[in-house]
Copies of this chain bind each other. A is one copy, B any other.
Amino acid sequence: MATEKIYKQPSTDMLVEGVRSGDRAMIGRAITLIESRSRKHQEKAHELLDRLLPFSGHAHRVGISGVPGVGKSTFIESLGLMLVEKGQRVAVLAVDPSSGRTGGSILGDKTRMEQLSSHDQAFIRPSPSSGVLGGVARATRETIVILEAAGYDTVLVETVGTGQSETMVSDMVDFFLVLMLPGAGDELQGIKKGILELADMIAVNKADVFEKKLKQAMREYKSALHIMTDASPNWHPPVMPVSGLTGQGLDDLWSKIELHRRLMTESGEWDERRTNQRLTWLKSQIADRLLDDFYHSETIAAALSETQNKVVAGHTTVSRAVADLMKLYHQ
């Protein structure tokens, strides 16, 4: 879908109307427009988003993370189908900064989530292809605006459990779910740095397959979460067994996620989290832009590697190096 070209660009009016009426082709085109990095498209994208913004904000945004092999696709397909059967409209996005090309390594495979993707109450979109983390983040957040304006009730944001993309996704969702495998000893190792602290819940997947190991794994995850400080006084991240394959535990899992929404809404933390996310996003986009301008300026690009060599070799202090680079930049 992300490979479609904007041959004849529909007008902004047409896009707004198409998105609002839930026209899947128009939703796809709107997303392609905001994903575009061409200057020409950017102004139009801003206009589109400004007009859709008032209709956004109503979806339940859930991030789902887990290392390759944990069974994310199967889990998301089962969860998505369950929600669709409950009468919801469900969108699935992927965030995979490593994907070098359109429709990269996750959600790129057309055979994945076959049932869900053919369901007319579901919308699935692969990761935008921008190689830059900040670019992927921007496109994903803006895609959420479009999908919410199109009336989707739940937006599931899938990400691979490696690297900075977790922090990024947890910063744009209401609930961050980490999928883990039951396994002991060495298999438990390899939890990506910091991911436990982002989790609003750990779901131990493939609970049907590894029944024996399940109890021990749940105990270990509970113990790990136990010594962390909870992000909210009203929520301690639970550890739940599920099976994406058999559907076991999915109902309980979703009830918990809904309970979280209710508790956070009642305590005011729901709005607070979203407000903070917006401010953090503004701040990080400003920083991205400033750094981008700096590192892409011709003078800096020409001088940087020599400066780095000097710093590494101990021929100059960092303070001096920064002062010199700044002089060069502002010339």
Known: A312-B278, A317-B53, A320-B49. A223 touches B226 (CB 8 A): no
Bound complex: CA A286 to CA B49 (Å):
32
Stretch at the interface among A18-26, A106-114, A137-145, A237-245: A137-145
* Chain A stretch 226-256: residues in CB contact (< 8 A) with chain B: 226-229
* Interface residues as binary, A255-291 with B (CB distance below 8 Å gives 1, 0 otherwise): 0000000000000000000010011011001110111
| Interface bracket on A | 35 or more
- Whether B193 pairs with A319 at a CB distance below 8 angstroms is no
Determine the chain B residues whose CB is within 8 A of the CB of A191 once the complex forms.
Answer: 227-229
Smallest CB separation, A66 vs chain B (Å) = 15
Interface check A46, CB cutoff 8 A: yes
Give the chain B neighbours of A45 by CB distance below 8 A: 319
Q: Note all chain B residues with C-beta closer than 8 A to A287.
A: 287, 290-291
Cβ of A275 and Cβ of B312 under 8 Å apart? yes
Q: A residues 171-204 with Cβ under 8 Å of B?
A: 188-194, 197
Is A133 part of the contact surface with B, judged by Cβ < 8 Å? no
- Chain A residues in contact with chain B, CB under 8 A? 42, 45-46, 49-50, 53-54, 56-57, 138, 141-142, 145, 188-194, 197, 220, 223-224, 226-229, 275, 278-279, 281-282, 285-287, 289-291, 294, 307-308, 311-312, 314-323, 325-326
